[in-house]
Structure 1
Amino acid sequence: MSEMMMRQANDNTENVDQKALELAQDFSYDGYQVVRRELFAHLREPAVVIRRDSVTFNTACIAGLEDAVYIQILVNQDNKRMVVRKCEENDKDALRWCIAKPDKRKSRKMSNKLFSAMMYDMMGWDMDCRYKILGHKITHEDETMYIFDLLETEIFMDTKRKKKVKAESSAKETTVSTSTNQTPEQQQDEIAAKVARKLNRIPFYPKGWKDSFGLPVEEHKKALETNLTDGYIEFSSAR
């Protein structure tokens, strides 16, 4: 490396160090917000998806609760949180949340109508959407469980609830082959199906997040200080 290049490198280092000193001199957490992890991709993080007719826990969630095959679901109507804890098959209100094989467990769709209806009503959710909530794994009194904050959701259009989408409003975004075999109605249906698939992948976020990346630092420290002994309701269902 030439002498000139070395001088330039040293100058750059000095500039960076000087900037770091200036930033550190008056640094404070005041005004900072801890960015919600829901704003990033998290395919391998524990999560639950609630639809109007089912509940599904992802594989990461199931793997994180050791060898649990049966669970109990608890709901706190006051702070809008849901807890999942391991239980035995014959325990009251036990729910099977996975398919257990000798070598692995995998996710299963937990079909229901009443539970989802109650959840959608409690949260004021849109019946045309599905809601994905990340799980926070905690230990309480030597028991490992997941807490799901129902106020912090990813929202997706749920195309299983088939709704007609006007062809004229979607034609600009979707290219459709105009086969001589297709009637205008078939072409419109094809456009609607493609738009529905596209909408199914578009995430939304709660209105309360519009002007905020997350909680202020001090509030964030207290966010998961949850007292599990007060206010929780076990959701009871016949098996």
Structure 2
Amino acid sequence: MHDTAEYTDEKEIIDQKAIELAEDFSYDGYQVVRRELFAHLREPAVVIRRDSVTFNTACIAGLEDAVYIQILVNQDSKRMVVRKCEENDKDALRWCVAKPDKRKSRKMTNKIFSAMMYEMMGWNLDCRYKILGHKITFEDETIYVFDLMETEIFLDIKGKRAKKDTESQFTTDKANNIEETASNSTDNERSVEEIKRKNRIPFYPKEWKDSFGLPVEEHRKALEINMLDGYAEFTTGK
């Protein structure tokens, strides 16, 4: 009986608190937390490097049976769109490896496109950028929209370059003895491992420092914007 009374008192306290919160609740001052701040291994995403573009498996799986796509870029709103197309369509790009039972992600090697994107966005060439995809329907067509301003950023110093960079920090004179050389070799290995570790640590645009996301009303208005307004297709001269 005593336990039941305690439970009843606790429930009354919770119910009373809920009533108080509901009486004067407002979305004023709230921000919608960016999805980029959470783990999203199974969410559609693209990774842009200085020499390649790779769409993850979740992204590929979400666009029906698409093997070929077109990429569109809006230089004003800093957004990128991916839409399904046929193999022989103008500027068709193969974004996956198609097997009888599934489609797998593939690295889309390029230099010019990435160079243009890095320049447009003012991105750091030593970093790779991961952007989550928003799947929407526009004119009865399913597409992905990527907001290039909302990125995860990772240091992207590759193995050979990392080794070269760290070795340059530990160069020794030919007259150094064997023990010192061995010590430097160990330091090199540790430094390479440190760079590899840092390559996996995400960081974010400085604009996010004091904000969890957009204010509620601004977030609502953003959803009402015509996502394709002003887009221009990125052509390959095909």
> TM over 0.5: same fold?
yes
Tell whether 2:128 aligns with 1:130.
yes
Q: What pairs with 1:211-222 in structure 2 (closer than 5 Å)?
A: 211-222=210-221
Q: CA deviation at 1:197?
A: 1.1
Count of aligned pairs between the two proteins: 227
Q: 8 Å contact 1:33–1:214 — kept in the other structure? A: yes
CA–CA separation in structure 2 for the residues paired with 1:210 and 1:166: 34
Match of 2:187 in 1: 188
Match of 1:76 in 2: 74
Match of 1:176 in 2: none
CA–CA separation in structure 1 for the residues paired with 2:63 and 2:148: 20
Tell whether 2:86 aligns with 1:95.
no
Say if 1:201 and 1:70 are closer, same or farther in 2 by CA, change over 3 A. Answer: same
Q: CA deviation at 1:192?
A: 1.3
Match of 1:121 in 2: 119
Q: What pairs with 1:13-28 in structure 2 (closer than 5 Å)?
A: 13-28=11-26
Selected match of 1:112 from 110, 113, 116: 110
Q: What pairs with 1:25-174 in structure 2 (closer than 5 Å)?
A: 25-160=23-158, 162-163=161-162, 164-165=165-166
Q: 8 Å contact 1:167–1:191 — kept in the other structure? A: no
SS at match of 1:71: strand
**% identical aligned pairs:** 72
Q: 8 Å contact 1:167–1:188 — kept in the other structure? A: no
Which protein is richer in helix relative to its size? 2
The two structures, once aligned, show a CA RMSD in angstroms of: 2.1
So what's the TM-score if we normalise by structure 2?
0.90
Once structures 1 and 2 are overlaid, which stretch shifts more, 10-19 or 155-164?
Answer: 155-164
Instruction: Write out per-residue CA displacement over residues 145-176 of structure 1, whole angstroms, 9 at most, x where no aligned residue.
Output: 000000000001112172435999xxxxxxxx
Match of 2:175 in 1: none
Match of 1:236 in 2: 235
Q: CA deviation at 1:182?
A: 6.6
Q: CA deviation at 1:121?
A: 0.5
Instruction: Write out per-residue CA displacement over residues 30-54 of structure 1, whole angstroms, 9 at most, x where no aligned residue.
Output: 0000100000000000000000000
CA–CA separation in structure 2 for the residues paired with 1:81 and 1:220: 16
Q: 8 Å contact 2:67–2:96 — kept in the other structure? A: yes
Match of 2:202 in 1: 203
Match of 1:172 in 2: none
Q: 8 Å contact 1:74–1:83 — kept in the other structure? A: yes
SS at match of 1:151: strand
Post-superposition, which runs of at least 4 consecutive aligned residues in structure 1 deviate over 6 A?
A: none
Say if 1:229 and 1:28 are closer, same or farther in 2 by CA, change over 3 A. Answer: closer
* Structure 2 spans left out of the alignment, 5+ residues: 170-178
CA–CA separation in structure 2 for the residues paired with 1:149 and 1:97: 19
